[in-house]
Copies of this chain bind each other. A is one copy, B any other.
Amino acid sequence: MACAFLHRLVASVPTISTTIAGPAATTACNFGRGKNVRMFASAAGTVASAVTAQEALSKYEELAKNLREIDALEGISGLLGWDEQTMLPSGSAPARAFHKAALAGVLHEKKTNPSLDVLLPVLASPNVLELLPSPEARANVRLAHKEWELQKKKSKEMTAREAALEGRGYAAWVSAREKDEFHHGFLPVLQDIVALKKEVATATRPGWDTYDANLDLFEPGMTVRRLTEIFGALKTDLVPLLQQIMASSRYQTQDKDRPPAFQGGPQWDVNIQAQLSREVSEALGFDYTLGRIDTSVHPFTGGSHPTDVRITTRYSQEKWLEGISGTVHEVGHGLYEQGRNPEQRDLPASRALSMGGLSPEDFYRHVNRVQPDLIRVEADEVTYPLHIILRFELEQALLDGSLAPADLPHAWNAKMKSLLNVEVVKSGEGREGGREGGNAKGCLQDVHWAVGALGYFPSYTLGAMMAAQLWVSAERAIPSLSAEIGRGNFQKLREWLRREVHVRGSVFTSMDELLRTVTGEPLNPEYFVMYLKRKYGELYSMEEGGKEEL
């Protein structure tokens, strides 16, 4: 039973995506890390005259000394971010915002310090670059050079303002969400954030589309144009799939009139959930001597990577799936970060886990029940991408000015209706078929925009797509993979991921380049769509012969 449970749980809930697809997801979720910014390749200058290999190496070592100091300060910035969301006393937030701004200012100084003006143009010139001894060294120079070019276009003041606004935004969001109050508490900060993101994009990427400039911070090389194609195709497949599911006899006879998945489901003791999270994360290979797990309002992976990886989740007695799925999701980030470290070690065999009365089949059906609803992090795999597409379309509009921040609640609710056919109804309005929400369950539900992460949401669904594509390659490489996971053993998968994905870090310049190397082709959304069609076809008996043996 334990094996089946682990198999079903991990192989089926939406959060599998990041357990498999590290890099996109990792870039996407590490608010706390402070170094999300990676740049796209552009032609390097040609400054150097004759430089010997010995001179190049000595310059590289001088650069590396600078980079190590910057990395240490970014590790500290990551810890501050983690602490802010897990430990900080409520009254201490304003001082923390000031501290973060001071550190961001120091980081800016370090990233633009005059010795880099001397080192980087020389090292990044193609003839010097090729003298360096390893692909990692060359990637370090390339990334440092791009970051340096970007930082030079920002003032220290702008950097500090960004950091302070992030802290202010987070505090305002926590309070606004709690009170379900958009206009007074949150709107002024959101306006400042949108304005600042435009200002930063104009300063750092003159001539770029504002949304592209923001997107590139989280997913190097991705553009609105390509995303619109990808998501357009996805919408074309998903909307009929969702309709088919909702028209299936199973949905009509069994799901339709049942209360939503989190109402009337089993109630789990929070302490037992925490223990389960710990056990599952250990079974998946998370190393607790180099990390920890805590709780926060919004689950995240923070800390100082890769040596101090701090994941969080949140528990509730009713929404018990959130705790474990948050853990599995964040463990995906955590494994990626810990995978950057060459250390390898064996992991304890997974232990039998009780499910409190549900049969594995019931449990599998329960966690995979398709149900259009309000909250992204509670969504099933079929409706989840529509939540992402909603955000993608709205954040584009915020940045190109066609949507004023003050109109966000209205636009959000309209899109919930058009994309998911979900009506957001305020408490007490009780409209037929509507879901009781308000902004706390609408545009205030997620933390991302509050901390300035516009252009971030697409990474979630890109991560799910990568996961589906990587899974096919992993199965090809390890024929016993499904059987191994059925026995609750994730070691072979983890080893494959470490070797093929995690250790490669940022040696590649884009997701497509990484995928081409690992799977033989750039991102292909078809794998994800095939996965959804097969799985939900079986679950809702919409195709012949597809009944999975349970």
Binding site for B on A (CB under 8 A): 68-69, 72-73, 75-76, 79-80, 83, 87-92, 94-96, 98-99, 101-103, 105-106, 110, 287-292, 304, 307-308
A69 engages B292 (CB within 8 Å)? no
Q: Which residues of B contact A101 (CB under 8 A)?
A: 72
B88 engages A80 (CB within 8 Å)? no
A69 contact from B75, B87, B105, B290, Cβ within 8 A: B105
CB distance from A376 to the nearest CB of B (A): 29
Copies of this chain: 2
- Interface majority SS on A: helix, strand, loop or mixed? helix
Q: Which residues of B contact A69 (CB under 8 A)?
A: 102, 105
Q: Which residues of B contact A95 (CB under 8 A)?
A: 75, 304, 307-308
A99 engages B72 (CB within 8 Å)? yes
The 9 A-B pairs of least Cβ separation, nearest first, read A72-B102, A95-B307, A91-B289, A92-B308, A91-B290, A72-B99, A92-B307, A75-B99, A69-B102
Residue among A87, A105, A287 with most chain B CB within 10 A = A87
B308 engages A88 (CB within 8 Å)? yes
CB-nearest residue of chain B relative to A91? B289
Contact A90:B289 (CB < 8 A) given known A69-B102, A102-B72:
yes
How many angstroms between the C-alpha atoms of A162 and B91 in the bound complex? 32
A89 contact from B91, B94, B289, Cβ within 8 A: B289
How many angstroms between the C-alpha atoms of A80 and B307 in the bound complex? 15
A304 engages B87 (CB within 8 Å)? no
A99 engages B290 (CB within 8 Å)? no
Q: Which residues of B contact A91 (CB under 8 A)?
A: 287, 289-290, 307
Contact A304:B76 (CB < 8 A) given known A69-B102, A83-B83, A106-B106:
no
How many angstroms between the C-alpha atoms of A87 and B94 in the bound complex? 23
17 extra A-B contacts, CB within 8 A, seeds A75-B99, A79-B80, A92-B290: A69-B102, A73-B103, A75-B95, A76-B76, A76-B99, A76-B102, A79-B79, A83-B83, A87-B87, A88-B308, A89-B291, A89-B292, A90-B289, A91-B287, A92-B304, A92-B307, A95-B307
Q: Which residues of B contact A288 (CB under 8 A)?
A: 89
CB-nearest residue of chain B relative to A308? B92
Contact A99:B304 (CB < 8 A) given known A69-B105, A83-B83:
yes
19 A-B pairs within 8 Å (CB atoms) are namely: A72-B98, A72-B99, A73-B99, A73-B106, A76-B99, A76-B102, A76-B103, A79-B79, A79-B99, A83-B83, A89-B289, A89-B291, A91-B287, A92-B307, A95-B304, A95-B307, A96-B308, A106-B106, A106-B110
How many angstroms between the C-alpha atoms of A292 and B86 in the bound complex? 12
Q: Which residues of B contact A110 (CB under 8 A)?
A: 106
B304 engages A89 (CB within 8 Å)? no
CB-nearest residue of chain B relative to A160? B69
Q: Which residues of B contact A98 (CB under 8 A)?
A: 68, 72
CB-nearest residue of chain B relative to A92? B308
Q: Which residues of B contact A105 (CB under 8 A)?
A: 69
CB-nearest residue of chain B relative to A73? B102
How many angstroms between the C-alpha atoms of A68 and B101 in the bound complex? 12
Q: Which residues of B contact A106 (CB under 8 A)?
A: 73, 106, 110
Q: Which residues of B contact A308 (CB under 8 A)?
A: 88-89, 92, 95-96
How many angstroms between the C-alpha atoms of A91 and B292 in the bound complex? 11
Q: Which residues of B contact A102 (CB under 8 A)?
A: 69, 72-73, 76
How many angstroms between the C-alpha atoms of A91 and B96 in the bound complex? 27
CB-nearest residue of chain B relative to A294? B87
Q: Which residues of B contact A92 (CB under 8 A)?
A: 289-291, 304, 307-308
CB distance from A411 to the nearest CB of B (A): 36
How many angstroms between the C-alpha atoms of A68 and B68 in the bound complex? 26
CB distance from A156 to the nearest CB of B (A): 11
Q: Which residues of B contact A103 (CB under 8 A)?
A: 72-73, 76
How many angstroms between the C-alpha atoms of A79 and B89 in the bound complex? 13
A307 engages B79 (CB within 8 Å)? no
How many angstroms between the C-alpha atoms of A178 and B289 in the bound complex? 17
CB distance from A412 to the nearest CB of B (A): 32
Q: Which residues of B contact A76 (CB under 8 A)?
A: 76, 80, 99, 102-103
Q: Which residues of B contact A80 (CB under 8 A)?
A: 76, 79
